[in-house]
Amino acid sequence: MQLPAHPFGTDITAKDIAERLQKSPHWEDRYREIVRLSRQMPTLPEAFRTTENEIFGCENRVWIAHELTKQGQFHFVFESESRIVKGLLAIILSQCEGDSPQALVDKDLLAVFNDLGLAHHLSATRNSGLTAVAQAINNAASAALERA
């Protein structure tokens, strides 16, 4: 079974998301925009919602599935039971989709939340969950580099 396609990292870039969120002056407006992003995420098929793909340490259940293309680029699909979490995952996805393993190892996927002024609006458990997601992405990239 193949992972579903999505617009993040290609049609919807990290820059696009930053511009959308920066146009929203209030946290409530940004929150709504993040929920809108979640609606553009594909649903991760049940076959990929395994214990192996589940990220523990998150406030809500989160799964990450990935594949490394023949071109050496990662394709990720994330899933969460929470719309806001799924929207936050879309922000991360816009930064890591299509990257090489080395690019992912070198990238700080969480810096965007500070850059956008979102980090201080997130609970400690939500920040912890996002850190676990970033670590899982880094682990996948590191494992791909070791296999190369």
- Across the beta sheet with 62-68, the strand order is 54-55, 62-68, 74-80
**Residue 109 lies in domain:** 14-147
| Cα distance between residue 80 and residue 131, in whole Å | 15
Q: How high is the pLDDT of residue 13?
A: 95
Is the distance from CB of 36 to CB of 88 less than 8 angstroms?
no
Q: How high is the pLDDT of residue 27?
A: 87
Q: How high is the pLDDT of residue 9?
A: 95
The residue count for the chain: 148
Q: How high is the pLDDT of residue 109?
A: 97
The verdict on residue 129 lying in a domain is yes
The verdict on residue 5 lying in a domain is no
The verdict on residue 97 lying in a domain is yes
The verdict on residue 112 lying in a domain is yes
Q: What is the CATH number of the domain that holds 65?
A: 3.90.1010.10
The verdict on residue 19 lying in a domain is yes
Is the distance from CB of 6 to CB of 94 less than 8 angstroms?
no
The verdict on residue 57 lying in a domain is yes
Active site residues: 58
The verdict on residue 9 lying in a domain is no
- Please give the average pLDDT of every successive group of 10 residues along the chain, which has 148 residues: 94 95 90 96 97 91 97 97 96 98 98 92 93 97 94
Please state the domain count of the chain: 1
Angle of helix 83-96 relative to helix 14-22, nearest 10 degrees, comes to 130
| Cα distance between residue 143 and residue 140, in whole Å | 5
| Cα distance between residue 98 and residue 66, in whole Å | 11
> pTM for the full model?
0.95
Q: How high is the pLDDT of residue 58?
A: 81
The verdict on residue 109 lying in a domain is yes
